[in-house]
Structure 1
Amino acid sequence: MEKSGMSRRCGLNADSSQFTLDGKPIRILGGSMHYFRVPRAYWNDRMLKMKACGLNTITTYVPWNLHEPERGVFNFRGQLDLLTFINEAAQVGLWVILRPGPYICAEWDLGGLPSWLLRDRNMTLRTTYAGFTEAVNSYFDELVPRLVPVQFSRGGPIIAVQVENEYGSYAKDDQYMSFIKNALESRGICELLLTSDNREGFQSGGVNGALRTINFQKLTSGMIKHLDHLQPQRAKLVMEYWSGWFDVWGEDHHTFSAEDMVSVVREVLKQGMSINIYMFHGGTNFGFMNGAVDYGTYKPQITSYDYDAPLSEAGDYTKKYHLLRSLFSSYQMSGENLPEIPALQPKKVYEAVAINQHLPLWETLQFTEPHQSESPVNMENLPINDGSGQSYGYTLYETTIATGGTLNSRNNVRDRALVYADSLFIGVLDYKTQKLTVPNGKGDQKLRLLLENCGRVNYGKALNYQRKGLIGDIVLNNVPLKDFTHYTLDMKPAFIDRLGAVSWALDTSKPTFPGFFRGSLWVEGCPADTFVKLPDWSKGVVFVNGQNLGRYWPIGPQKTLYLPGPWLKSGTNQVIVFEEQKAGDEIHFTDLPNLGKNADVPNKVPSVFLQQCVKLCTDCFKMLEQYCTC
C-alpha cells in the first residue's frame, strides 16, 4: 500500500471487467471484521493475521446504536474509535471498505439502529419518513466528516463506501436509497459507492450511481448471469461470501465445511470476480448487543459471533484460514510473498473462582429512579436518559394486587418475564407461555415482572415492531392491571460500579433470586485469554472488572463465554454474575471454547436462511429447491 498522502489520480473503478485502483488492476481479496466486536487491544493482531492470509482489504460495519446511544450524544472514543481502526488497517497494509448503514443488519440489536427511534409511535424505519431522515442526517453530520479525510483520494485507505445494506430485501420506499446516497455524497464521500444484496433482493436493492454487489454462500451460474445482465462489462464483487452462519439460543451450532467453503471461493476467483469473506473474524456480541430473528417464531441470537469463521472468536487459526491462505497465496501481486503467520494469543486455565458474596436484586433498586404510570410503559418510552428511554437489559414492573388468579400477558411480554408474587417466583412468561396462576396471599401482594430484552430483530419486516418490556396491558382474571412502578436495570458499567456501595451478604448458602454473586479471580503475571464456564448455573450475565461479557444460558448451543486477556489485570479481578434462578458455588475457566453441538448436517445452508428466502420471495422457491441441499 502507498504511504498516506502520496499523490493519487483516481480511486477504485469498476467500469471494466476488472477493478482498477489509481489506474492499476486490482482484485479485492477482502474479509469482514467488526471493530465493535473485537477488543481494541486486538485490532492490530487480527489485522496482521488477515494480511498474512493474503487479504488486501478489510470491511466493517458502523453501528449507529453504539455511536449515538442517546439522541444527540455521540461516542467515537476508546472501543468505538473508528478513525484509529481505519488508520491501523492502513498501517498493516489493508484497504478499507466501509459499510456505514445507517442500517447494518450484522446480527446486531435492531440492525444497528438506535432503539430511541422507536419512541416515535409513527416511526417507519429505513424509509424517508421525516422522523427517520432527520435522525439520519443528524448522525451523518457527526460520522461522515470523520471519514472524509481518510478516503483514498485524500491519501487514506477507504476505497469504497456502501450505501445502506441489503435494502432489496426490505424495499419499503423507492426514494430511500437515493436519500442515503445523497446524504453520503453531500457530506464529502467521493469514493466508489456500493450496494449489497442477496439474490432475492438484488433487483430492487440498487441505486443509480452505485455498483451492485451480491451476497451468498453457494454460487450458481444464474447469479453470475444476473450480475452481467444488470451491470454489463462492470467488475463483479461478492460483498458477503458467508464463511459460516450465526447461532440462536436453543438450537445447534452452525458449521460449514472448510473444503466446501474454499471450493466456492476458488470458483469465484476463477470467474475473475473479487470477494469479501463474511465473516473472516466474527468476534463477540459483548453485553446485550446480539440481534434476533423472527420468521414466525422469535429466536434471540447468542453472545458468541464466532460464525465458524477462518479466525475463531478468540482470533485462533482454523482449517478454513490455512486453506484460504494457500489459495490466496497464488493471487498476490507479482513477486510478493505472504507475511509470516503471527503467533497466537496465549490462553490460560485460571483457578475456579469461589462465590463468597451475594446481593438480591431487590436491594439494588435503590440505585434506580422509579417511574410511575397508570399503564405499563415499554422500555424505549421510559422517561430516562434525557428522553432516549432504556435500550438494553432488564426492566422491573411492579404493581399491587389484592387477589390471586389467572395472569394473562396477552402476548405483550417482550421478550421474557420472570414473575414474582412478592418474592415468590411463580413462573416465566414469554412468546410461548402467556398464562400463569398467581396464588392468593394474605392481603395485598406486590406483583413483580422482571422483563428482559433478549435482543431486537435485526433483519426483515419486523424491524418497526421491536419495542421491548411490556408493550401493552397484562390482565389478572381478565382485568387489566394498573398503577405500575418501573425500575430500569440496564446494568451499564455505572450501575455495576454502584453495587460496590452496598453491603453484600457473606452467607451464600441460601441466596435470594434473582441476584448478583461476586468473587475474585487472581491472575498471576501477564493476563491471557480464557473462557468462562458456569455448568451449575441457570441463566444470566457475567461481568469482569465491569465489562459485560454477555449472556449465558444452558439451553445452548454456547457453553462458554470469551474473556479477553486485555480485560484482565495482574492480581485481583472482580467477577460478578447476575443469575436469574439457580447459582453454582464456583465460576470455572478453560482454555478451549465450547460453542455447542454442531448442526446435524453441517454442510447445508442453515434452515433459518431457507426460511428467510422463502419468506422474502416465494417465487424463488423452485430455485431454492434446485440449489439448496437442505
Structure 2
Amino acid sequence: MSRLYAILSVFFLCGGGFFSFAQQPARHTFTLGESDFLLDGKPLQMISGEMHYPRIPRESWRERMKMAKAMGLNTIGTYVFWNVHEETPRVYDFSGNNDIAEFIRTAHEEGLWVVLRPSPYVCAEWEFGGYPWWLLKDRQMQVRSTDPKFMSVYSRYIKALAKQLIPLQITHGGNILMIQIENEYGSYSNDKTYLDLNRKIFREAGFDGILFTCDGADRMPDGYLPGYLPAVNGLEDPAQVKTLINRYHNGKGPYYVAEWYPGWFDDWGKKHADVSAEQSAKTLDQLLAAGISVNMYMFHGGTTRGFMNGANMNKDNPYSPQVSSYDYDAPLDEAGHPTEKFYAFRKVIAAHLPAGETLPPVPAAKPAIKIPDIALEQYAGLFSQLPKPETAGQPLPFEDLDQAYGFVLYRTTIKKGGMLKLKELRDYAQVYVDGKYQGSLDRRLKQDSMNLTGISSDAVLDLWVENNGRINYGPFLNDNRHGITGSVSVDGREIYGWNMYRFPFKTAGTFSFSKNTDQKTGHPALYKGRFTLQQLGDTYLDMRTFGKGFVFLNGHHLGKYWNIGPQQTLYVPASWLRKGKNEIVVFDELESNHRQLPSLDHPVLDQNSKK
C-alpha cells in the first residue's frame, strides 16, 4: 500500500498545492528508480488512460477528465497529431480542438499528470499514422527514416510544437511527466541511428524530461533505444512485463505498460469489438497489485471526425479502413458515458487505495435525446456543377493534384467497351458511362476491374474516386499516395486524356442547391436540411437508410458513414447543436432520393450489412 499511498497523496490533494495554477505552481521532480517511478523521491504508480484531444470536442475535455478522476486515474496519455497541426507546410494550427497546450493545462487543473506521445508517428487508427499528407508529394521521401528531407521537416515541426509544450513539462513546473520518442518502431524497422536522431531532435527542441520508447513484447529488441526507458505494449502478465523490461533496461525498472488494451477499434465491414469487462478488470487488478504502471488504450476514444480515419494493410491482409466512431469498447463510451467496464475498473482501483481514501463521485451522465426527423428539403447534384478541372494525359493521384482528402472525379472518353481496369486504385470508385451507373470498385475487396458492355463510340467515362483513409500501420506506410495511382485501361489498352475535378470537402462548399423534388438519382449528391431546437443534448444521426458518405452539422464535419457497418450512427455532441436554427448537409454517393434524416438517443455500432 505504500506505493499507492504516495500516488494518492498527490492525486487527491487538489485544493491548494500542486494542481492550482491560480497560485504559484509547485515544483516537482520525476525520476526513474530501480523499480518505480519516483515523484519527489517517492514511488508513483501511474494509473493512466489514453484520450486524444482531436477526437473529443474541446467543450467536453474537462468533463471527460473529471470522469477519468472518478474512475481512479491519476494520469492521461495522449498522442500529438502532426497532420492536424501542420496541414499546410510551415502553417501551424494550435487553436480550437488542436490546442494541445490547453488540453494539458486542463488536465493539470483537474489534478491529472500527462504522458505525452508526440512521436510524431502515432498509428492510432489515424490517417497516415499522423503524418501530413503533403510529405507524399515527394515520391522519393521516406518517412520513419534518416532521409534528410524527412528529418528536416520533422525537426522543424517538433521545434514548433516545443514552443507550445516546453513550459508544461514537470521540469518547468508543469504536469507532463514523460515524452515518448517514436511509437512501436520495432514493428516497422530496427535502425538505432534513426531512433537516436529522434532523441536528438527532441532534446535540441527543449524536451528535457524523461524520454521513453514503447513496443510490443516481441518487437522490443528492434524498437528500444539503449539508455532510455523501454515500455511494453499489450503484455498483461506482470512477471513477463518485469522480466522483459529488466532485460532491456540494465536489469531494472520502472515497469510501464504503455498500451494496455481493454478494448479495440472497428473496421468497415467487420464486427464490432467486444472485450470482456470482467476479464479486463481481473487483468488490471493483477497489474496494479504488481506495482506496474499502466496506460489503458483507450480510456475514452471519442470520434475520428472529418477524413482522419486510417487503415491497416500488410502482406497477408488486404486494405482495411477504420470507422469514424472510436468508441473502442472503452470504459468511457464515444459520448463520454461510463460503461460497465468503467465501473468494474473503478472498483478495482478503489480496492487498491490506502485505508480511509475514497474516489471522487462519478459525475452524472447527461442524457441523450432524440430530435425530430430532419427534413432534407434541398439537393445539389455534384456532376452538374463541376469545378474547373486539372488536365493531364494520365490520371494523377491526389497528391499531384495538391489535394489531401476527399474525392476526385476522373473523366475521359472511351471508344468501346471491354474490361475496365484501374491499376492501384486507392481506394473506392463509382463507375459511370454517359452518366449511367455501372457499379463500384473497392480496394478492401481487391476489386479493380469490371466489364463495360453496350458502350457507344466516344462515351464519357467517369470514375468518382474516394480516399477511404491512408494506411496508418505496417510495411506500406510510404506507399500511401491516393486516388488513381497507376494507369486506367480498357481491354488492355491504356486510356489517355483526363479531366480531373477536385472535391476536397474541407467545408460543405459553395454548391448551388435546389428543391429536393428536382434531384437526379444515381449520382453523388448533397442534401441540405434546416431544423429548429428548443432543447439541446447529445444525439445520434441514424444513417441506416443512407449509403456511403459524410455529414456536416453547423459547419462541423461529424465523420463518415457506410451502410456495410458495423457503425450505423453518427454521434452529435450537444455543444455543436444550437438552440434555435441549425443546418445539416449530408453527402451520399450510393443512395438517392433522401427526404428525411432520423435520429436516435443511443448509438448503433454493431450492425453489419451485406450491401
Would the aligned equivalents of 1:54 and 1:332 in 2 still touch at CA under 8 Å? no
- 1:174 and 1:105, CA in 2 relative to 1: closer, same or farther beyond 3 A? same
Partner residue in 1 for 2:5: none
Q: Give the partner amino acid of 2:369.
A: K
> d(CA) in 2 for partners of 1:597 and 1:261?
24
- Partner of 2:540, secondary structure, is strand
The Cα offsets for residues 426-463 of structure 1, whole Å up to 9 and x where unpaired, read as 11123322222334455422211111111111111110
Partner residue in 1 for 2:7: none
Which of the numbers 322, 328, 331 marks the counterpart of 2:349?
Answer: 328
- 1:545 and 1:116, CA in 2 relative to 1: closer, same or farther beyond 3 A? same
> d(CA) in 2 for partners of 1:280 and 1:6?
28
State yes or no: 1:468 paired with 2:475. no
- 1:261 and 1:503, CA in 2 relative to 1: closer, same or farther beyond 3 A? closer
Partner residue in 2 for 1:386: none
**Structure 1 alignment gaps of length 5 or more:** 383-388, 599-630
> d(CA) in 2 for partners of 1:136 and 1:75?
16
- Partner of 1:186, secondary structure, is helix
Following TM superposition, by how much is the alpha carbon of 1:331 offset from its aligned partner in structure 2, in angstroms? 3.5
Which of the numbers 242, 260, 284 marks the counterpart of 2:303?
Answer: 284
Q: Give the partner amino acid of 1:262.
A: A
- 1:359 and 1:597, CA in 2 relative to 1: closer, same or farther beyond 3 A? closer
State yes or no: 1:395 paired with 2:395. no
Partner residue in 1 for 2:604: 594
Would the aligned equivalents of 1:238 and 1:275 in 2 still touch at CA under 8 Å? yes
Following TM superposition, by how much is the alpha carbon of 1:43 offset from its aligned partner in structure 2, in angstroms? 0.3
Q: Give the partner amino acid of 1:322.
A: Y
Q: Give the partner amino acid of 2:606.
A: G
- Partner of 1:465, secondary structure, is coil
> d(CA) in 1 for partners of 2:520 and 2:546?
15
State yes or no: 1:444 paired with 2:458. yes
- Partner of 1:266, secondary structure, is helix
- Partner of 2:500, secondary structure, is strand
Q: What is the TM-score of this pair, normalised by structure 2?
A: 0.92
Would the aligned equivalents of 2:188 and 2:475 in 1 still touch at CA under 8 Å? yes
> d(CA) in 2 for partners of 1:331 and 1:213?
23
Would the aligned equivalents of 1:9 and 1:23 in 2 still touch at CA under 8 Å? no
- 1:332 and 1:159, CA in 2 relative to 1: closer, same or farther beyond 3 A? farther
> d(CA) in 2 for partners of 1:509 and 1:144?
51
Following TM superposition, by how much is the alpha carbon of 1:332 offset from its aligned partner in structure 2, in angstroms? 4.1
- Partner of 1:304, secondary structure, is coil
Partner residue in 1 for 2:14: none
Which runs of structure 1 show a deviation greater than 6 angstroms over 4 or more consecutive aligned residues? none
- Partner of 2:297, secondary structure, is strand
Following TM superposition, by how much is the alpha carbon of 1:510 offset from its aligned partner in structure 2, in angstroms? 5.0
Following TM superposition, by how much is the alpha carbon of 1:572 offset from its aligned partner in structure 2, in angstroms? 2.0
Which of the numbers 344, 367, 375 marks the counterpart of 2:365?
Answer: 344
State yes or no: 1:20 paired with 2:32. no
Would the aligned equivalents of 1:360 and 1:512 in 2 still touch at CA under 8 Å? no
Partner residue in 1 for 2:473: 459
Following TM superposition, by how much is the alpha carbon of 1:104 offset from its aligned partner in structure 2, in angstroms? 0.5
> d(CA) in 2 for partners of 1:505 and 1:486?
28
Which of the numbers 133, 140, 143 marks the counterpart of 1:125?
Answer: 143
Partner residue in 2 for 1:72: 90
Partner residue in 2 for 1:174: 192
After TM superposition, the structure 1 = structure 2 runs for residues 496-575 of structure 1, keeping only pairs within 5 Å, are 496-499=508-511, 502-507=512-517, 510-525=520-535, 527-575=536-584
The Cα offsets for residues 390-433 of structure 1, whole Å up to 9 and x where unpaired, read as 111111111122333221113x2100111111311111123322
Partner residue in 2 for 1:83: 101
> d(CA) in 1 for partners of 2:320 and 2:65?
32
> d(CA) in 1 for partners of 2:506 and 2:480?
21
The Cα offsets for residues 173-209 of structure 1, whole Å up to 9 and x where unpaired, read as 3311111111111111111111111112111111133
State yes or no: 1:262 paired with 2:274. no
State yes or no: 1:137 paired with 2:147. no
- Partner of 2:604, secondary structure, is coil
The Cα offsets for residues 77-131 of structure 1, whole Å up to 9 and x where unpaired, read as 0110111101000000000110001100101011101111111111211011112
- 1:512 and 1:297, CA in 2 relative to 1: closer, same or farther beyond 3 A? closer
Q: Give the partner amino acid of 1:300.
A: P
> d(CA) in 2 for partners of 1:442 and 1:415?
28
- 1:594 and 1:508, CA in 2 relative to 1: closer, same or farther beyond 3 A? farther
Work out the number of aligned pairs and report it: 583
Partner residue in 2 for 1:621: none
Following TM superposition, by how much is the alpha carbon of 1:337 offset from its aligned partner in structure 2, in angstroms? 2.5
- Partner of 1:362, secondary structure, is coil
> d(CA) in 1 for partners of 2:76 and 2:498?
49
Q: Give the partner amino acid of 2:442.
A: D
Q: Percent identity?
A: 38
The Cα offsets for residues 133-186 of structure 1, whole Å up to 9 and x where unpaired, read as 011011112101211111112111111111110011111533111111111111
Would the aligned equivalents of 1:404 and 1:438 in 2 still touch at CA under 8 Å? yes
Q: Give the partner amino acid of 1:121.
A: R
The Cα offsets for residues 506-533 of structure 1, whole Å up to 9 and x where unpaired, read as 31575352111112232113x2100011
- Partner of 1:365, secondary structure, is coil
Q: Structure 1 residues 543-552 or 431-440, which shifts more?
A: 431-440
Q: Structure 1 residues 28-37 or 559-568, which shifts more?
A: 559-568
> d(CA) in 2 for partners of 1:128 and 1:283?
34
Would the aligned equivalents of 1:8 and 1:22 in 2 still touch at CA under 8 Å? no
Which of the numbers 208, 211, 218 marks the counterpart of 1:190?
Answer: 208
Which of the numbers 409, 422, 428 marks the counterpart of 2:434?
Answer: 422
> d(CA) in 1 for partners of 2:136 and 2:99?
26
Q: Give the partner amino acid of 1:49.
A: M
- Partner of 1:566, secondary structure, is helix
Q: Give the partner amino acid of 1:141.
A: K
Q: Give the partner amino acid of 1:299.
A: S
- 1:120 and 1:228, CA in 2 relative to 1: closer, same or farther beyond 3 A? same
> d(CA) in 2 for partners of 1:128 and 1:405?
46
Q: Give the partner amino acid of 2:527.
A: F
Would the aligned equivalents of 2:383 and 2:523 in 1 still touch at CA under 8 Å? no
> d(CA) in 2 for partners of 1:547 and 1:79?
11
> d(CA) in 2 for partners of 1:322 and 1:351?
33
